Structure 1
Amino acid sequence: MQLFYYQKTFESTFYLDQDESKHLIRVLRKTIGDKVYFTDGTGCLLTCTIIDANPKKAKLQVSQRQYAPQNDYYIHLAICPTKNLERMEWMVEKATEIGVDEITFMVSEHSERPNLKLDRLEKKIIAACKQSLKTRFPKLNPIRQMSELVMDKTFDQYQRFIAYVDKDNDRHLFDKAEQDRAYIILIGPEGDFSQQELQLAFDHHFLPCSLGKSRLRSETAGLAAVHTLQLKNNLKLT
C-alpha cells in the first residue's frame, strides 16, 4: 500500500496537481482503473480509482471513505529546538513515524534557537505520515515560552512530565507513566532547564522523570520520550 496526501477529501472526484500527477503516472506507472489511497491527515482514508491518467492533471474518483479511531492515549511533546535545524527536522520526522499527536517548540533560559519556521517541518510530517501509513497527522504548534506552556490550564487533566539530567532523577518515564492517558513531556535544550524553570514545573505538577542513564541530545531525548510512551501503551503486560 502507498499513501498519498490530498486536503479536500469531501469531494467525490478530484484532480491532482502537476507534481503529484507526474509522480503517480510517470514514476509509479499507475494507469486508469488502478486503486490509490489518500488521506487528508485528519484520520480519513480514501480508496480512489484513477479515471484519467493524465501526467499533468490526473483525475481520481473516491470509492470508499474510512476513518481511523482515536487512540485511548495522547502524546504531546514539548521541546526546545536545537541550533541545528536539521536535527529538529530529523526528530519531527522520526517521532511522527513512531507516533506523536502534538509537538510544541519552547523557548527556555538556555535555548539555542528563539524562533523557528514551521513550513519545512510540516512537509516533514506529511512525508513521514505517508511513509508510515498514518492517516492522522500530528499537530504542530508555534513556538512558545516554556513558562507560559507550564502554566497553561489546558494540561490540568494531562499526566505532566519534565525530563532532565540529574543523578537523583532516576525514575524512568516508563515506570511513571500510566496507560491510556493524555501526556505532555517537556524536553529542554542542550544546556538543560535552569533550576528556576524546574521549580516552576514542579509547582505546576510536572513530575520529574528520567529517559535512561545516558546523557542524550535534545532531539534524541524527544524521540526516546515518544517511543517510551508508545511502548507503555502498546505492550501487553502479563
Structure 2
Amino acid sequence: MQLFYNPDILDSETFQKSNEIIFDKEESRHIVKVLRMKVGHTFKITNGKGSFFNAEILNANPKGCLVKILSEEKQQPLPYQLHLAVAPTKLNDRYEWFLEKATEIGISEITPIICDHSERKVIKPERYEKIVQSAAKQSLKAYLPLLNPAVSFKDFMILESKSKGLKCIAHCEETDRKSLKSLLLPKQRVTILIGPEGDFSTEEVVLAKRHGFIPVTLGKSRLRTETAAIAACHSVAFVNEV
C-alpha cells in the first residue's frame, strides 16, 4: 500500500463538495517522476487526522498532481495517549531519529523542552514536521502526532500543571525512582519527560515532582536521550498491544 499525505482534505463532507485536490511540487514529483504513476492510477491519502482517502490521478503533472477523492475510510486512533517531552540532543540527527521511530511506534504528542543542561536550544520545526510526516506515511499511520513548539522546562510545567493521567520524569539521579513499566496500564493518558545529555538538574526534578510527575527509571542501563525516549515510547505501546 502506497500512502501519501495531504492536510488539505478535511473530512468526507468537504471532499464531497470539492472532491479534487492538487499535491504540492515535492509530493507531485514523487508520485509522477519517482513512482511513475499515470492518469487512472489509484492510491491512498491521509490527512493525518484519522482517515485514509482513496484517490485517482486526473492529471499526472510533476509540478502539481491533480487527483480525485473517491471515498473515505476512517481509522481507529491509538488506544492510549502518549505525550513525550524530550530535550533536543546536541547532534540534531539523533533527535530526528527519535521523531521518526516514535512516529512509527505510535505517539500522540511531542514537545521539545529546553532544560538547564541543554546544549541545543534552537530547533528546526519545519524539518521536524517533514520527518514526522514521512515516518507516518512509511508506517501507514492515519494520525500524525502533534509536534509542539519548543518550550522551556519551567514553561512546560505551567502548561502541564492541570493535565491528567500518569505523569513521569525519567532521570539518572540515584534517588528513589519507580520502574516505568510498573506504573503503566492499558488505555492511559501518559506524559513522560526525557532530559538532555547532561540529564535534568536537581532543581528541575524537584519542580517536576511538585507538579505531580513521578520519578522513574527505564532500566539498569544508562541510555542516551533519544534511546531513552524510544524505550519509553515502546513501553507504553507494548502495554497496549492486544
Within 5 Å, give how 1:45-84 maps onto structure 2. 45-84=52-91
Structure 1 contact 190–218 (Cα < 8 Å) conserved: yes
**1:189 aligned to which of 196, 204, 210:** 196
Q: What residue is the counterpart of 1:141 in the other structure?
A: 148
Within 5 Å, give how 1:19-30 maps onto structure 2. 19-30=26-37
Structure 1's consecutive aligned runs of 4 or more residues displaced over 6 angstroms after TM superposition are none
Equivalenced residue count is 235
What is the aligned-residue RMSD (CA, Å)?
Answer: 1.8
Structure 2 contact 179–218 (Cα < 8 Å) conserved: yes
Q: What residue is the counterpart of 2:43 in the other structure?
A: 36
Q: What TM-score results when the alignment is normalised by the length of structure 2?
A: 0.90
1:36-78 deviations in Å (ceiling 9; x for gaps): 1111111121101122334443321111112222233100000
Q: State the secondary structure of the residue aligned to 1:124.
A: helix
Structure 1 contact 169–210 (Cα < 8 Å) conserved: no
1:174 to partner: Cα distance = 1.3
Structure 1 contact 103–138 (Cα < 8 Å) conserved: yes
Q: 1:102 to 1:60 in 2, by over 3 A?
A: same
Q: State the secondary structure of the residue aligned to 1:142.
A: coil
Q: What residue is the counterpart of 2:164 in the other structure?
A: 157
Q: What residue is the counterpart of 2:215 in the other structure?
A: 208
Question: Share of identical aligned residues, percent?
Answer: 39
1:64-122 deviations in Å (ceiling 9; x for gaps): 11222223310000011112111111111111111111111111111111222211100
Q: State the secondary structure of the residue aligned to 1:48.
A: strand
Structure 1 contact 176–209 (Cα < 8 Å) conserved: no
Q: 1:55 to 1:118 in 2, by over 3 A?
A: closer
Q: Unaligned regions of 5+ residues in structure 1, if any?
A: none
Q: State the secondary structure of the residue aligned to 1:106.
A: strand
Q: What residue is the counterpart of 1:174 in the other structure?
A: 181
Structure 1 contact 108–188 (Cα < 8 Å) conserved: yes
Q: Unaligned regions of 5+ residues in structure 2, if any?
A: none
Q: 1:87 to 1:198 in 2, by over 3 A?
A: same
Q: Does 1:5 align with 2:5?
A: yes
1:202 to partner: Cα distance = 1.2
Distance 1:23 1:13 in 2: 19
Q: State the secondary structure of the residue aligned to 1:150.
A: helix
Q: State the secondary structure of the residue aligned to 1:152.
A: helix
Q: What TM-score results when the alignment is normalised by the length of structure 1?
A: 0.91
Q: Look up the equivalent residue of 1:2 and give its one-letter code.
A: Q
Distance 1:18 1:199 in 2: 49
1:15 to partner: Cα distance = 2.4
Q: 1:153 to 1:186 in 2, by over 3 A?
A: closer
Distance 2:166 2:142 in 1: 25
